[in-house]
Each structure stands twice: as C-alpha cells, then as structure tokens.
Amino acid sequence: MPQTLGARLPSAKATHVRGALGATRDLIDRLAQSSPARLAVLVFAAVVILFTALLWLPASSQDGRATTFTDALFTATSAVTVTGLTVVPTADHWSLTGQVIILLAIQIGGLGTLTMTSILAMAIGRQLGLRSKLITQEALNVGRLGEVGSLLRTVVITSVVIEGTLAVILTIGFLVAGENPLTAVWHGVFYSISAFNNGGFTPHSDGLVPYFDTAAHTWLILFPTALGVLLGSLGFPVILVLRQVGWLKFSRWNLNTKLTVVTTFVLMFVGWVLWTAFEWNNPATIQGESTGHKIFQGFFASVMMRSGGFNLVQMSEAEPVTLLLTDALMFAGGAPASTGGGIKVTTLAVVVLAILAEARGDRAVIAFHRTVPESVLRIAISVIAMGATIVLVATGVLMALSGQSMDRVVFEVISAYATCGLSTGLSAEMGAAGKAVLVVVMLVGRIGTTTVATALALRSRRRLYQYPEERPIIG
C-alpha cells in the first residue's frame, strides 16, 4: 500500500502541474482575444521583471556585488525595450554574465516586439469582418489567416540571417582592428544583435568612437552597424515584402512598404544634410575632421537619430540646433512592426499627406494611387497626440524632480519615448524617482503606439444612427 501511494504522488503532482499550465494557457488565450493590448503590457512587464532579477544578481556585475535595484530595473527596461539609455557603463560595470543577459534581453525585446505586433494585428483580423482580415493579411503578407506560427518562424529565420551576416562582417572588422579572435567574435555578435534590434548598447567603454580612424574600420565596423540599424528600423513586414517581391520592383510593393521606405530615406537624407551642415564648424565635434569623415559622420548620425542610439560624438557637445533636429527625428522614429520606436514613419507620412490634401482642397488622402481610409488618419492623429502628451507630461515631471534645463530634459525624454538611446548624460545623473519616470516612458514608448492603435481598432463599431453635422471654427 505505501508503494502504491508513493507511485501515485508523482502522477498527482504532474496532473496538477498540467492543470495549472492548461489554466494559464486558457487565461492567455482569453486575454489575447478579449484584450491583446493588455496582454502586451503584461508580457513586457513580466519580461522586464525577469531581467531585472537577473541583472540584480552579484554575478552580473564586475565587482561581484549586487547592483542597486533601480539601476538593474533601468538597464533591464532599456534592454527589453531596445532603447539603449544607460545609468552605469555597460563595459565597466557589467560582467560578461551581465552583458550576456543584456544581449539576451535585447534579442528577446526586438523579436518580441515584432512577433507581438504581428499577433496583435492578427487579433484585429479575427475581431473584425472578412474585409479587415484581408487587409491585415495583405499588410503582414501572410498566406492564410491563422498561420501565426509560420509567420513567426519566418521572423526568427530572417533575423538570424541578417544578424549572422552582420556578425561575420563585424568580427572581421574587429580582427582587423587588432582584437584577439574570441573577443572579436563576441563583439561582432554583440554589435550585430544590438544594431539590428536598434538596441544601442555597446560592450566598449568608448563605444564606437575609437574605430572612426581608418577606412577599414569605417567600412567593416561602422557601416555594417549603421546598415543593421537601418534594416531593423524598416520593420519585418517591409523586409518580407522586399525579399519576396523584389527590392527594385517598386510598383509591386504594397502601400505600407512604399510609405515606409520613401519616408525613411527622405528623413535619413534630410537628417544627413542638416546634421552635417549644423556641425560642420563645431570644434567640439567634427570641425577638425576631413571632408569625407564629416560626410560619413553626418550619414551615421542621421541613421542613429531615429532609433539606433550609437554615436560618434558626444551629444552634450553638439550644437543646440542639432539637438533640436535630433529631437524631431527621434520622435518620428522607425517603421511599424520594427525594432524602432517613435510615432512611426507611416504615421508621420499619413498626417503630412492629409495636410497636403487639405491644402489642395482634396476630399480624400491619396498615396501612390491608393486612398487612405479616414480611420487610419484618426489613428495617426491619436498616436501623435498621445506621444506629444507623454513627452510633455514626462518632461514637466523630470524638470520638477531634477531642476535641469528644458532642452536636456526634453532630449532625454524623447530619446526614452522613441527608444533611441542617444543621451546627453542626464539619465545617469537622475535620482531614483527620475529613473523610474524614464522607465515608464521607455515602456510606454515601446508598446504604447501599437497598443493604442490596436485598442482603437478593436473598439471600432458602426453606429446605427448619425447626428447632424456642425462645423466648429478651426485655426
């Protein structure tokens, strides 16, 4: 009899565990169907808590002592939201274990954003009618609705291919720079993941600045890093369309891809020209460089300003007008369903097209021979208003807490909201309360835009009646 009871105990425990897992899956399924936005918040919060606990361990720091909870939380949030803001030096404070944890958080944060965005968009398709399902299917380039698993596998495979290619090129670059093979491989892998996911973290105490000295370093380290950031900011749906349709077959691209690519390169070119012009004679940044170096620094800065976070000059030494330009480009951010942040380039494009349509007297917003629905314009306006409100409120709170000037605070807040990672050093100077505010801003910036847009779409409904129209005075 005792042996029978003993044999039954493991079975009972296993049944209990299976029951708990089943209940958890059912809860997640119900939450995904009823409120995908809430599920997104819970998932991100859980991942941040997990990596905070890991970075809090003594083994994660170089001195073998536990990092303060605030600094561990800030770093974990910055890594999971692929922001890149830091309050302690990554190379000098974190051990190899800590840096591996940060890199894993960046990878999960980047891939998690892509996969979660796809799942949320699929949820929109399930909740709405057949037409909305077809629109979602076309936007994500999915063969059949419900093929979430195959879509996510494609995301992972594409990311691995891009990151692996970048890692090989960067490893060669670091070998040419004189690093030993193991260190070169580690740095190649770290920068490839950090670049493609727009993480902005660097395992070097001086970042990438020392590698801006020879043409070999520029083309084997700096340019691949910028290319990785650019590809990551385009977004997986765009990369998938370009891969399947063709990079040069513009007429066959869907509207999302056209708007994303055109707006991205317009912003990149404008930022490149203006940044170079503004900093050309700044003795603290690029005045002493050759013409070729100045032009490349402008290109590198323009790519990084919209979400990358790597820099070749100290942002605190840049001209005030350059900081203002950076604020604007960071706020614009990357593409939807990408590792970039901000309000998204398609949001900006739709609003600009609406302004042009209004100026011309057109009743509809037209883009590349396609009519943009009014519902999309309303969501775009809502996203911009939400982002501006978050930046305004957070700036006021941080100014009250820190007593710093508005230009520094606005720069840091926009960098956090846009998950960019460029900094004038204010994050490290903040107290616990200020860091907590930036943590919230980073989380909202990473999941807020997608969550709000999804929530608006899920709550859309058709009224059976219509009120009389009346025009208020605008402008």
Half-sphere exposure of 17 (CA within 13 A, CB side): 6
Residue that wins the pLDDT comparison between 135 and 475: 475
Give pLDDT, residue 248.
84
pLDDT value of position 33: 54
Rg (CA), the chain: 24
pLDDT-derived band at 137 (thresholds 50, 70, 90) equals: very low
pLDDT band at 68 (very low <50, low <70, confident <90, very high): very high
pLDDT at 206: 84
Angle subtended by helix axes 432-458 and 374-402, to nearest 10: 170
pLDDT: which is higher, 454 or 282:
282
The fraction of the chain above a pLDDT of 90, given in percent, is 49
d(CA 110, CA 193): 9
Q: Distance from first CA to last CA of the chain, Å, rounded?
A: 86
Strands (E), 323-386: 365-367, 370-372
Q: What confidence score (pLDDT) does residue 41 get?
A: 74
pLDDT (tens digit per residue) in 456-470: 555 555 667 778 877
Which is more confidently placed, 209 or 299? Answer: 299
Q: What is the rounded CA–CA span in Å between residue 278 and residue 325?
A: 10
Taking the alpha carbons of 206, 294, 314, 83 in that order, is the dihedral positive or negative? negative
The amino acid occupying position 254 is N
Supply the pLDDT for residue 22: 57
Mean pLDDT, residues 56-72 = 93
In angstroms, the CA 156 to CA 6 distance is 44
Contacts of 218 (CB under 8 A, 6+ apart): 211, 212, 296
* Structure token digits, residue 112: 């998690």
Enter the tokens of residue 280.
Answer: 């050309």
More confident residue, 273 or 205: 273
Span 62-70, mean pLDDT? 92
Do 276 and 295 touch, CB atoms closer than 8 A? yes
Rounded percentage of the chain residues whose pLDDT exceeds 70: 79
Q: Give me the sign of the Cα torsion angle 358, 360, 363, 365.
A: negative
What are the start-end ranges of the H helices in 81-221?
90-93, 96-127, 130-140, 148-176, 181-196, 215-217
What's 363's DSSP letter?
S
Q: Quick: pLDDT tens for 340-394.
A: 888 999 999 999 999 999 888 888 899 998 999 988 898 899 889 989 999 999 9
On the question of pLDDT at 414 being above 80, the answer is yes
Q: What is the pLDDT of residues 105-114, one digit of tens each?
A: 999 888 765 4
Is pLDDT above 70 for 262? yes
Helix (H), strand (E) counts: the chain: 19, 2
Nearest to 233, CA basis, from 99, 135, 148, 330:
330
Q: Which of 68-82, 124-138, 160-174, 376-390 has the weakest average pLDDT? A: 124-138
pLDDT at 129: 40
HSE (side-chain half, CA atoms, 13 Å) at 424 = 22
pLDDT digits (tens, 9 = 90+) for 112-121: 654 555 545 4
Taking the C-alpha atoms of residue 58 and residue 61, their distance in angstroms, rounded to an integer, is 6
Q: Which residues contact 221 (CB under 8 A, 6 or more apart)?
A: 170, 173, 174, 177, 191, 208, 211
Q: Are 341 and 418 in contact (CB under 8 A)?
A: yes
Cα separation of 159 and 271, whole Å? 27
Burial of 293 from C-beta contacts in 10 A (0-12 / 13-18 / 19+): middle
Quote the CA–CA distance of 216 and 226 in Å, as a whole number.
Answer: 15
Look up residue 281 and give its DSSP letter.
Answer: T
Q: Which is higher by pLDDT, 135 or 245?
A: 245
Cα–Cα distance, 272 to 295 (Å, whole number): 8
pLDDT at 162: 92
Its pTM stands at 0.84
CB atoms within 10 A of CB 246: 11
pLDDT score of 124: 45
Looking at residues 193-211, what average pLDDT do you find?
89
Does the pLDDT at position 9 exceed 50? no
Average pLDDT, the chain: 82
How far is 296 from 276, CA to CA, in rounded Å?
A: 9
Region of poorest pLDDT, from 84-88, 125-129, 225-229, 444-448 = 125-129
For the cut 80, the answer to whether the pLDDT of residue 291 exceeds it is yes
Rounded Cα–Cα distance for residues 328 and 109 (Å)? 24
Token pair for residue 300?
A: 């590198």
pLDDT of residue 130: 40
Mean pLDDT of 422-448: 90
Residues 209-237: pLDDT tens digits? Answer: 888 777 788 899 999 999 999 998 988 77
The whole-number pLDDT of residue 375 equals: 85
Once rounded to an integer, what is the mean pLDDT over residues 238-242? 83
